[in-house]
Amino acid sequence: MKLRVGFGYDVHQLGFNEELWIGGIHIPFEKGSIGHSDGDVLIHAICDALLGAANMRDIGFHFPDTSNDFKGIDSKILLKRTVDIIAEKGYSINNIDSTICLEKPKLKNLIPEMQSVLAQVMNIDIEDIAIKATTTEKLGFVGKQEGIAAYATVLIQKG
């Protein structure tokens, strides 16, 4: 069995009159992510981590923001395609560990729903997806509520 680790990071600006999508769920809030797709930073970080672990470049290579095919697309579609892309190389997901950095809204009560949605999209056990949420103690663009960031580490296996 071959094991590989991948790391992903994504950031999006927050703006008024935008929808907030995190972990595949819509979160009602006064601000949302500004992006070419739906701006789901958690899914984008997971996609980058999976692609990196399989040595298959990054999300922008496979789903460029210069393509109208991906304008406003549901990031769950990108995640499903990413799982299919790494599967073509013989890889499957062992587990995911992720962190969302956002000052507001608080996410702790929404994490189980995110885990459930992501597990369904990736066809893996909910226990194999860890999601944590933190603030940056009012520091930087996250702390000033100008943006949102997410980190993901994945372990994939072949064989």
- Give the C-alpha separation, 128 to 125, whole Å: 5
Q: Which of 54, 85, 59, 86 is nearest to 70 (CA)?
A: 59
Length of the chain: 159
Q: Is 144 annotated as a binding residue?
A: yes
Q: Is 59 annotated as a binding residue?
A: yes
Q: Is 26 annotated as a binding residue?
A: no
Q: Is 134 annotated as a binding residue?
A: yes
Q: What is the token pair recorded at 25?
A: 């769920």
Q: Is 37 annotated as a binding residue?
A: yes
> Do the beta carbons of residue 6 and residue 51 sit within 8 Å?
yes
Which residue is listed with tokens 């663009």?
Answer: 141
Q: Is 136 annotated as a binding residue?
A: yes
Q: Is 138 annotated as a binding residue?
A: no
Q: Is 44 annotated as a binding residue?
A: yes
Q: Is 36 annotated as a binding residue?
A: yes
Q: Is 154 annotated as a binding residue?
A: no
Q: Is 116 annotated as a binding residue?
A: no
- Binding site for a divalent metal cation, by residue number, is 10, 12, 44
- Binding site, by residue number, is 10-12, 36-37, 44, 58-60, 134-137, 141, 144
